[in-house]
Protein backbone atom coordinates (compact mmCIF):
# COMPACT_ATOMS: atom_id res chain seq x y z
CA UNK A 1 0.00 0.00 0.00
CA UNK A 2 1.33 3.42 -0.91
CA UNK A 3 2.37 5.69 1.90
CA UNK A 4 0.10 8.67 2.55
CA UNK A 5 1.75 12.09 2.29
CA UNK A 6 0.93 14.78 4.77
CA UNK A 7 0.41 18.20 3.26
CA UNK A 8 3.18 20.65 4.15
CA UNK A 9 2.68 24.27 5.15
CA UNK A 10 2.49 26.71 2.26
CA UNK A 11 4.69 29.77 1.88
CA UNK A 12 3.64 33.00 3.58
CA UNK A 13 0.60 34.44 1.84
CA UNK A 14 0.05 31.43 -0.39
CA UNK A 15 -3.04 30.17 1.40
CA UNK A 16 -4.61 33.62 1.51
CA UNK A 17 -3.99 34.17 -2.18
CA UNK A 18 -5.39 30.87 -3.33
CA UNK A 19 -8.02 30.53 -0.63
CA UNK A 20 -6.69 27.02 -0.21
CA UNK A 21 -8.96 24.47 1.40
CA UNK A 22 -7.70 21.13 2.65
CA UNK A 23 -10.85 19.53 1.24
CA UNK A 24 -9.79 20.67 -2.23
CA UNK A 25 -6.69 18.47 -1.98
CA UNK A 26 -8.64 15.38 -1.12
CA UNK A 27 -10.03 12.75 -3.40
CA UNK A 28 -13.69 13.74 -3.23
CA UNK A 29 -14.79 10.12 -3.44
CA UNK A 30 -12.41 8.46 -0.98
CA UNK A 31 -11.83 11.50 1.26
CA UNK A 32 -8.13 10.83 1.69
CA UNK A 33 -4.93 12.30 0.24
CA UNK A 34 -4.22 11.02 -3.25
CA UNK A 35 -1.14 8.82 -3.44
CA UNK A 36 0.23 7.36 -6.66
CA UNK A 37 -0.79 8.69 -10.10
CA UNK A 38 0.37 7.17 -13.39
CA UNK A 39 2.83 9.63 -14.95
CA UNK A 40 1.56 9.02 -18.48
CA UNK A 41 -1.84 10.37 -17.37
CA UNK A 42 -0.38 13.74 -16.30
CA UNK A 43 -0.26 16.63 -18.78
CA UNK A 44 2.03 19.62 -18.21
CA UNK A 45 0.53 22.87 -16.97
CA UNK A 46 -0.09 25.15 -20.00
CA UNK A 47 0.08 28.16 -17.65
CA UNK A 48 3.52 27.36 -16.24
CA UNK A 49 5.31 30.73 -16.10
CA UNK A 50 8.76 29.19 -15.71
CA UNK A 51 10.60 28.59 -18.97
CA UNK A 52 14.17 27.91 -17.78
CA UNK A 53 15.08 24.68 -16.02
CA UNK A 54 18.71 24.46 -14.91
CA UNK A 55 20.07 21.12 -16.11
CA UNK A 56 22.53 20.71 -13.23
CA UNK A 57 19.88 21.49 -10.61
CA UNK A 58 17.50 19.04 -12.28
CA UNK A 59 20.21 16.37 -12.18
CA UNK A 60 20.79 17.09 -8.48
CA UNK A 61 17.08 16.85 -7.74
CA UNK A 62 16.88 13.58 -9.66
CA UNK A 63 19.80 12.16 -7.69
CA UNK A 64 18.26 13.31 -4.41
CA UNK A 65 14.91 11.73 -5.21
CA UNK A 66 16.61 8.48 -6.23
CA UNK A 67 18.45 8.30 -2.90
CA UNK A 68 15.95 9.81 -0.45
CA UNK A 69 12.60 9.61 -2.21
CA UNK A 70 10.13 12.41 -2.90
CA UNK A 71 9.62 14.75 0.07
CA UNK A 72 6.87 16.95 -1.38
CA UNK A 73 4.28 15.42 -3.77
CA UNK A 74 3.29 17.31 -6.88
CA UNK A 75 -0.13 18.97 -7.18
CA UNK A 76 -2.51 18.13 -10.02
CA UNK A 77 -6.14 18.58 -11.00
CA UNK A 78 -8.53 16.11 -12.61
CA UNK A 79 -9.25 16.74 -16.28
CA UNK A 80 -11.74 14.17 -17.56
CA UNK A 81 -9.82 10.87 -17.60
CA UNK A 82 -6.44 12.60 -17.29
CA UNK A 83 -4.72 15.04 -14.93
CA UNK A 84 -3.19 18.47 -15.45
CA UNK A 85 -0.08 19.46 -13.51
CA UNK A 86 -0.55 22.54 -11.31
CA UNK A 87 2.83 22.62 -9.57
CA UNK A 88 5.92 20.42 -9.38
CA UNK A 89 7.17 20.22 -12.96
CA UNK A 90 10.81 19.73 -11.90
CA UNK A 91 9.79 16.86 -9.62
CA UNK A 92 7.78 15.32 -12.44
CA UNK A 93 10.71 15.66 -14.86
CA UNK A 94 12.99 14.02 -12.29
CA UNK A 95 10.63 11.06 -11.94
CA UNK A 96 10.52 10.71 -15.74
CA UNK A 97 14.34 10.70 -15.89
CA UNK A 98 14.34 7.93 -13.29
CA UNK A 99 11.95 5.91 -15.43
CA UNK A 100 9.26 5.90 -12.77
CA UNK A 101 5.76 4.92 -13.86
CA UNK A 102 3.87 6.76 -11.11
CA UNK A 103 4.37 9.72 -8.78
CA UNK A 104 2.85 10.82 -5.43
CA UNK A 105 0.43 13.68 -6.01
CA UNK A 106 -2.21 15.80 -4.35
CA UNK A 107 -5.32 16.21 -6.44
CA UNK A 108 -6.97 19.59 -6.24
CA UNK A 109 -10.18 21.09 -7.53
CA UNK A 110 -9.03 24.11 -9.50
CA UNK A 111 -10.15 25.97 -12.61
CA UNK A 112 -7.73 27.44 -15.14
CA UNK A 113 -7.55 30.73 -13.23
CA UNK A 114 -6.61 29.00 -9.98
CA UNK A 115 -4.12 26.74 -11.79
CA UNK A 116 -2.30 29.78 -13.12
CA UNK A 117 -2.33 31.47 -9.73
CA UNK A 118 -0.94 28.39 -8.00
CA UNK A 119 1.87 28.01 -10.53
CA UNK A 120 2.75 31.71 -10.28
CA UNK A 121 2.75 31.81 -6.49
CA UNK A 122 4.82 28.63 -6.27
CA UNK A 123 7.38 30.31 -8.53
CA UNK A 124 7.53 33.43 -6.37
CA UNK A 125 8.12 31.32 -3.24
CA UNK A 126 10.88 29.26 -4.89
CA UNK A 127 14.57 30.09 -4.54
CA UNK A 128 17.15 30.47 -7.33
CA UNK A 129 14.79 32.02 -9.86
CA UNK A 130 16.22 34.51 -12.32
CA UNK A 131 14.96 38.13 -12.01
CA UNK A 132 12.91 37.98 -15.20
CA UNK A 133 11.06 34.85 -14.11
CA UNK A 134 10.19 36.57 -10.85
CA UNK A 135 9.16 39.73 -12.70
CA UNK A 136 6.87 37.78 -15.04
CA UNK A 137 5.32 35.93 -12.10
CA UNK A 138 4.62 39.14 -10.17
CA UNK A 139 3.27 40.88 -13.26
CA UNK A 140 0.93 38.08 -14.25
CA UNK A 141 -0.21 37.48 -10.68
CA UNK A 142 -1.13 41.13 -10.08
CA UNK A 143 -2.93 41.14 -13.41
CA UNK A 144 -4.80 37.86 -12.90
CA UNK A 145 -5.82 38.74 -9.34
CA UNK A 146 -6.49 42.34 -10.35
CA UNK A 147 -4.77 43.74 -7.28
CA UNK A 148 -2.30 46.56 -6.69
CA UNK A 149 1.37 46.17 -5.81
CA UNK A 150 0.49 47.26 -2.27
CA UNK A 151 -2.06 44.47 -1.91
CA UNK A 152 0.32 41.92 -3.42
CA UNK A 153 2.95 43.06 -0.91
CA UNK A 154 0.63 42.23 1.98
CA UNK A 155 -0.33 38.85 0.55
CA UNK A 156 3.10 37.44 -0.25
CA UNK A 157 5.06 39.21 2.50
CA UNK A 158 7.33 41.11 0.12
CA UNK A 159 8.06 44.83 0.18
CA UNK A 160 5.99 46.80 -2.35
CA UNK A 161 9.06 48.48 -3.85
CA UNK A 162 10.63 45.05 -4.37
CA UNK A 163 7.61 43.90 -6.38
CA UNK A 164 7.55 47.15 -8.39
CA UNK A 165 11.29 46.98 -9.12
CA UNK A 166 10.99 43.44 -10.43
CA UNK A 167 8.04 44.24 -12.70
CA UNK A 168 9.85 47.29 -14.10
CA UNK A 169 12.56 44.95 -15.44
CA UNK A 170 10.07 43.89 -18.12
CA UNK A 171 10.53 47.33 -19.69
CA UNK A 172 14.06 46.34 -20.71
CA UNK A 173 14.97 45.28 -24.22
CA UNK A 174 14.50 41.48 -24.60
CA UNK A 175 18.24 41.04 -25.25
CA UNK A 176 19.03 42.69 -21.92
CA UNK A 177 16.39 40.55 -20.23
CA UNK A 178 18.21 37.50 -21.58
CA UNK A 179 21.43 38.90 -20.11
CA UNK A 180 19.77 39.13 -16.72
CA UNK A 181 18.50 35.55 -16.98
CA UNK A 182 21.99 34.30 -17.88
CA UNK A 183 23.72 36.35 -15.13
CA UNK A 184 25.69 38.50 -17.59
CA UNK A 185 24.49 41.52 -15.61
CA UNK A 186 22.90 41.96 -12.17
CA UNK A 187 19.47 43.24 -11.24
CA UNK A 188 21.18 46.48 -10.18
CA UNK A 189 22.44 46.97 -13.74
CA UNK A 190 18.97 46.23 -15.05
CA UNK A 191 17.35 48.78 -12.72
CA UNK A 192 19.79 51.43 -13.95
CA UNK A 193 19.10 50.63 -17.61
CA UNK A 194 15.33 50.95 -17.10
CA UNK A 195 15.82 54.72 -16.82
CA UNK A 196 16.76 54.81 -20.50
CA UNK A 197 13.57 54.73 -22.58
CA UNK A 198 15.19 54.01 -25.94
CA UNK A 199 15.93 50.31 -26.51
CA UNK A 200 18.75 51.32 -28.84
CA UNK A 201 20.47 53.35 -26.10
CA UNK A 202 19.78 50.63 -23.56
CA UNK A 203 21.62 48.15 -25.75
CA UNK A 204 24.50 50.60 -26.28
CA UNK A 205 25.04 50.90 -22.52
CA UNK A 206 24.52 47.15 -22.07
CA UNK A 207 27.37 46.45 -24.52
CA UNK A 208 29.63 48.85 -22.58
CA UNK A 209 28.78 47.07 -19.33
CA UNK A 210 29.86 43.75 -20.81
CA UNK A 211 32.98 45.05 -22.58
CA UNK A 212 34.27 47.17 -19.70
CA UNK A 213 32.86 45.10 -16.81
CA UNK A 214 31.15 48.19 -15.43
CA UNK A 215 29.91 48.06 -11.85
CA UNK A 216 26.34 49.02 -10.96
CA UNK A 217 27.51 52.42 -9.69
CA UNK A 218 29.49 53.07 -12.88
CA UNK A 219 26.45 52.09 -14.92
CA UNK A 220 24.19 54.43 -12.94
CA UNK A 221 26.67 57.27 -13.53
CA UNK A 222 26.79 56.53 -17.28
CA UNK A 223 22.99 56.43 -17.52
CA UNK A 224 22.78 59.74 -15.64
CA UNK A 225 25.22 61.34 -18.10
CA UNK A 226 23.17 60.10 -21.06
CA UNK A 227 19.97 61.54 -19.61
CA UNK A 228 21.66 64.91 -18.99
CA UNK A 229 23.03 65.17 -22.52
CA UNK A 230 19.77 63.94 -24.04
CA UNK A 231 16.99 65.69 -22.13
CA UNK A 232 13.60 64.16 -22.71
CA UNK A 233 11.49 66.12 -25.17
CA UNK A 234 7.96 66.33 -23.92
CA UNK A 235 4.86 67.25 -25.82
CA UNK A 236 1.72 68.60 -24.33
CA UNK A 237 -0.73 65.73 -23.97
CA UNK A 238 -4.20 66.23 -22.61
CA UNK A 239 -5.29 64.65 -19.32
CA UNK A 240 -7.73 62.52 -21.31
CA UNK A 241 -4.97 60.80 -23.31
CA UNK A 242 -2.75 60.42 -20.25
CA UNK A 243 -5.54 58.74 -18.31
CA UNK A 244 -6.35 56.36 -21.17
CA UNK A 245 -2.67 55.55 -21.63
CA UNK A 246 -2.29 54.71 -17.94
CA UNK A 247 -5.37 52.47 -18.00
CA UNK A 248 -4.17 50.59 -21.10
CA UNK A 249 -0.65 50.08 -19.73
CA UNK A 250 -1.99 48.80 -16.42
CA UNK A 251 -4.59 46.55 -18.06
CA UNK A 252 -2.32 44.98 -20.70
CA UNK A 253 1.09 45.37 -19.03
CA UNK A 254 2.62 46.92 -22.13
CA UNK A 255 4.08 50.24 -23.22
CA UNK A 256 1.72 52.58 -25.06
CA UNK A 257 2.80 55.33 -27.45
CA UNK A 258 0.68 58.04 -29.06
CA UNK A 259 1.09 59.72 -32.42
CA UNK A 260 -0.97 62.87 -32.12
CA UNK A 261 0.21 64.74 -35.19
CA UNK A 262 -2.17 66.87 -37.20
CA UNK A 263 -2.06 64.50 -40.17
CA UNK A 264 -2.73 61.27 -38.30
CA UNK A 265 -3.47 60.02 -34.82
CA UNK A 266 -2.61 56.49 -33.71
CA UNK A 267 -1.79 54.31 -30.72
CA UNK A 268 0.99 51.69 -30.74
CA UNK A 269 1.64 48.88 -28.26
CA UNK A 270 4.95 47.19 -27.47
CA UNK A 271 5.34 43.46 -26.97
CA UNK A 272 8.59 41.68 -26.11
CA UNK A 273 8.03 38.25 -27.58
CA UNK A 274 5.45 35.91 -29.09
CA UNK A 275 4.12 34.85 -25.68
CA UNK A 276 3.58 38.48 -24.65
CA UNK A 277 1.70 39.13 -27.91
CA UNK A 278 -0.55 36.11 -27.30
CA UNK A 279 -1.29 37.34 -23.76
CA UNK A 280 -2.05 40.82 -25.10
CA UNK A 281 -4.45 39.51 -27.75
CA UNK A 282 -6.16 37.24 -25.24
CA UNK A 283 -6.77 40.12 -22.85
CA UNK A 284 -7.84 42.34 -25.72
CA UNK A 285 -10.59 39.87 -26.60
CA UNK A 286 -11.81 39.48 -23.03
CA UNK A 287 -15.14 41.10 -22.26
- Catalytic residue ranges: 89
Number of H helices, E strands in the chain: 13, 7
3-state helix, strand, coil in the chain (%, to 5): 55, 10, 35
DSSP string spanning 153-214? HHHHT--HHHHHHHHHGGGS-HHHHHHHHTTSS-HHHHHHHTT---HHHHHHHHHHHHHHT-
Could you tell me how far CA 256 lies from the centroid of its own chain?
A: 21
Give the separation between CA 201 and CA 88, rounded to whole angstroms. Answer: 40
157, 175 contact by CB (below 8 A):
no
Please, what is the Cα angle at 78 between 58 and 128, to 5 degrees?
Answer: 25
Provide the strand spans (E) within 27-151: 36-38, 42-43, 74-79, 82-87, 102-107
Amino acid sequence: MAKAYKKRGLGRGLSSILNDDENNILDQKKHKPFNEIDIHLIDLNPFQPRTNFNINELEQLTSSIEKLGLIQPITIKKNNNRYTLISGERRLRAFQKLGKKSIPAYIRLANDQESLEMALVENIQRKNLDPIEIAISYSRLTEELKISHNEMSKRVGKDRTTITNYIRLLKLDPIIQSGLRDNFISMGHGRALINIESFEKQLSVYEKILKKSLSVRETEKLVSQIKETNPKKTKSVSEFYLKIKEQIQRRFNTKVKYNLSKKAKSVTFDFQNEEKLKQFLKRLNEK
